[in-house]
Amino acid sequence: MKTHQSVLIATWILLTSIFSVKTSLSQDYRTGIGLRLGGLHSGLSIRHNTGSATALEGILGFGYRSSFITGLYEINRTISSTPGMKWYYGAGAHLGMFQHKGTYWYFRDRGRNVYVVEPGHTVIIPGVDFILGLEYKFNNAPFTLGLDIKPFIDVHHGLNGYFDGALNFRFVF
């Protein structure tokens, strides 16, 4: 009997939460600060809406032996069928630092082994970024949840393209 009551109470709370979120209208926000959890890079994100249709986003990210700072200019578009949901697209640039671990190798020269050690070093890499994303602002809650794809091109010994996707969670005010 006690288990049955617990299930009913949990179901009631869940349904009430779903319907209150579904029927509520979202409110716009000015600035959001939070986490960007990506496949290649994760880090801190700040997004500032400069108007109803534009935003600036800064990302301080970290990846495998790398860190970077990215600035993006974004265009916001609402989805009229889902209050609180918007999609956005934009472009920007980044400056990254990559830590090269070093290389150890050898070769044969006139019958003798030659050993070469190249020490590690830090490489600074500029690049271009693009972004396409979805964001949902919950009503009566100070946070957003988003999903984006962010292809980028590093300019280092030629052009090297990468594709990164991420889940965003931001506190807004």
Residue-wise pLDDT tens digits, 21-38: 443 334 589 999 999 999
SS3 164: strand
C-alpha to C-alpha distance for 68 and 122, rounded to whole angstroms: 12
21: DSSP letter:
H
CA angle 53, 132, 139 (to 5 degrees): 55
Furthest CA-CA distance within the chain: 87
Beta bridge partners of 76: 88
The tens digit of pLDDT for each residue in 47-92 reads 999 988 999 999 999 998 899 999 999 999 999 999 999 999 999 9
- All domains of the chain, ordered by start, with CATH? 27-172 (2.40.160.20)
pTM for the structure as a whole: 0.75
